[in-house]
Chain A
Amino acid sequence: ETGVTQSPTHLIKTRGQQVTLRCSSQSGHNTVSWYQQALGQGPQFIFQYYREEENGRGNFPPRFSGLQFPNYSSELNVNALELDDSALYLCASSRLAGGPDNEQFFGPGTRLTVL
């Protein structure tokens, strides 16, 4: 077990709704990254937070937003859900912000289905 937890495990929403996904990192992990993984594809980087500030973003629209809290928890918010947002959403935490020892610890993911 990596110590990274995510909730909920599964979620079903309808198009146009909003969703909040949660991640709890290991103690001492100041960096959290969020990924979207469509079926049969590799994870795609959404954004990263370091010490509660956004620290880089992938090619995702502004309706994908996030927060990181001092207690090593974080959130991914998606507004105006679209059918293509159906995917496994993964968070990954790490103790460092860079360097060869910057190992990423992934959570089990939240499976989001948009109908």
Chain B
Amino acid sequence: SQKIEQNSEALNIQEGKTATLTCNYTNYSPAYLQWYRQDPGRGPVFLLLIRENEKEKRKERLKVTFDTTLKQSLFHITASQPADSATYLCALDKFGSSNTGKLIFGQGTTLQVKP
């Protein structure tokens, strides 16, 4: 069955450093991969979508890579700030070739940025 895995252990980094989060998937050939941010007690907020034919995508201090051979996406936050502390979720569409909104999420990685 389709499976998405993210580092379950929390990631603790110092302010100003680059945070790198990993998302691996199996039994799947998605056309799109998405990253969301979730703060405690809140719903996820969409950050970035990357397509299978895009190796890398950037948005301000965020960078996402998508390696369909390794079946892996890396999510980077450069010059991290304490306000970046949150849980980050990786998501793929249930129907791999589409982006229907029927999402399968990883379990999320909690990032803590210390001042």
Give the distance in Å from the alpha carbon of A46 to the alpha carbon of B75 in the complex: 27
Contact of B102 among A33, A106, A109 (CB under 8 A): A33
> CB of B11 within 8 A of chain A?
no
- Decide if B46 touches A45 in the complex (CB within 8 Å): no
- Decide if B46 touches A104 in the complex (CB within 8 Å): yes
Give the distance in Å from the alpha carbon of A4 to the alpha carbon of B44 in the complex: 12
- Decide if B100 touches A106 in the complex (CB within 8 Å): no
Question: Quick one: CB contact mask for B14-48 with A, threshold 8 Å, 1 for yes?
Answer: 00000000000000000010001000011111100
- Decide if B43 touches A42 in the complex (CB within 8 Å): no
Contact of B94 among A40, A41, A45, A99 (CB under 8 A): A45
> CB of B79 within 8 A of chain A?
no
- Decide if A108 touches B102 in the complex (CB within 8 Å): no
Q: Which residues of A contact B49 (CB under 8 A)?
A: 100, 103
Q: How many residues of B contact A (CB 8 A)?
A: 25
- Decide if A45 touches B103 in the complex (CB within 8 Å): yes
Q: Which residues of B contact A99 (CB under 8 A)?
A: 98-99
Give the distance in Å from the alpha carbon of A4 to the alpha carbon of B91 in the complex: 20
Residue of B whose beta carbon sits closest to that of A91 = B43
DSSP class of A's interface residues: helix, strand, loop or mixed?
Answer: loop
Residue of B whose beta carbon sits closest to that of A97 = B100
Residue of A whose beta carbon sits closest to that of B6 = A42
Give the distance in Å from the alpha carbon of A83 to the alpha carbon of B72 in the complex: 35
Interchain nearest-CB distance for B101 vs A (Å): 5
- Decide if A33 touches B101 in the complex (CB within 8 Å): yes
Give the distance in Å from the alpha carbon of A100 to the alpha carbon of B98 in the complex: 8
Query: What are 7 A-B pairs at a CB distance below 8 A?
Result: A45-B103, A48-B100, A48-B101, A56-B94, A56-B102, A92-B43, A94-B101
A residues lining the B interface (CB < 8 Å) = 2, 4, 31, 33, 35, 40-45, 48, 56, 58, 90, 92, 94, 97-100, 102-109, 111
